[in-house]
Structure 1
């Protein structure tokens, strides 16, 4: 079961059914969704994805997924899960645009990385980031992620594969 995590300013806790509207709003915001998965999805696709968090991810204890809150309000989304891009686990995170530029991305990414190392016992974690997503690349660089390789996607876009080893920083 996905545990609750706390940082200085954030609370990461398992989603509750009442988080659906906030989740859909986050994933429907093109400023966020352009960097997530295959890009913007329909509202129906976002609702189906939210439902799968309960029917598959939590029900089968597949991996950890959190609702991110700040001061009791929904602020974003976070995950750590096995990846087929590398032999290991990948961190995924998204903050609502109103939270950008305040250092919360760094705080959130560090919390997920620490969970991977300290709780899951990982020796390294990965992140995949679209090459034009300079803000996320900068956050990950600041917390010790290193470039592994680039992948060219079916649409011609480039995704950077990054890793952070336990002993970095």
Structure 2
């Protein structure tokens, strides 16, 4: 099963396709996009490997990889699937949005859509995120979405914060779980 199309007020999130390669090469051409990643995605060959891996990924039904379209243009990519960095196939979210759109809260919109989908459609009991220790913007976004920081660990060879969101933390709906 492929991932469903998700819509927000400004975005369309749809399954990643091989034809998205050129658009994602353009998204990752900015060196700042690779700042917190283990790979240098300014190299189109690295992006091609990433796209091929995501297109060929076998995930549980309804989980997988999306591209984020803004005004009809691919502006980012993300996933909700079993973690490769955490034990027990915990559901993990990640999102990368073109820095050209910084400050527009599009990343927040995409991330919230994936988390809500995970809770409300897939019935997940938790969603996890590994966030590079120095990525203050993503750590703040995760906190706004109701993620709790549960500690630090080395993932992908670099220090990351381990965060988790629940649909109803501490007896009340989380911002992303509403």
* Residue aligning to 1:73: 73
Cα drift, residue 153 of structure 1: 4.9
User: Of 89, 94, 97, which aligns to 2:96?
Assistant: 94
Unmatched 5+ stretches in structure 1: none
1:7 corresponds to which residue?
8
SS of alignment partner, residue 116 of structure 1: helix
Number of the residue aligned with 2:154: 152
CA distance in 1, matches of 2:64, 2:137: 24
d(CA) in 2 for partners of 1:158, 1:17: 31
In structure 2, relative to structure 1, the CA distance for the partners of 1:164 and 1:73 (3 Å cut) is: same
Rounded Cα–Cα distance in structure 2 between residues aligned with 1:3 and 1:116: 12
Residue 154 of structure 1, CA deviation: 7.3
Distance 2:155 2:9 in 1: 37
Kindly indicate whether the alpha-carbon contact (under 8 Å) linking 1:86 and 1:126 is maintained by their aligned counterparts in 2. Answer: no
TM-score (norm 2): 0.84
The question of whether the paired residues in 1 share the 8 Å contact of 2:152 and 2:159 is answered with: yes
Q: Identify which range, 127-136 or 14-23, moves more after superposition.
A: 14-23
Please give the alpha-carbon distance, in whole angstroms, between the structure 2 residues aligned to 1:147 and 1:52.
29
Q: What aligned pairs does 1:48-67 form with structure 2 within 5 A after superposition?
A: 48-54=49-55, 56-57=56-57, 60-61=58-59, 63-67=63-67
Contact 1:145–1:164 (8 Å) recurs in 2: yes
Question: What is the CA-CA distance between 1:27 and the residue it aligns to?
Answer: 3.1
> Do the aligned partners of 1:28 and 1:46 also contact (CA within 8 Å) in 2?
no
Q: Give the whole-Å Cα distance in 1 for the aligned partners of 2:33 and 2:156.
A: 21
Secondary structure (helix, strand or coil) at the match of 1:91 reads strand
Residue ranges of structure 2 left out of the alignment (5+ in a row):
none
After TM superposition, which residue ranges in structure 1, 4 or more long, deviate above 4 angstroms? none
Using structure 1 for the length normalisation, give the TM-score: 0.88
> Alignment length, in residue pairs?
164
Cα RMSD for the two superposed structures: 1.8
Equivalent residue for 1:121?
Answer: 123
Aligned to 1:142: 144
For residues 39 and 49 of structure 1, the distance between their equivalents in structure 2, rounded to whole angstroms, comes to: 10
Change (3 A) 1:82 1:68: same
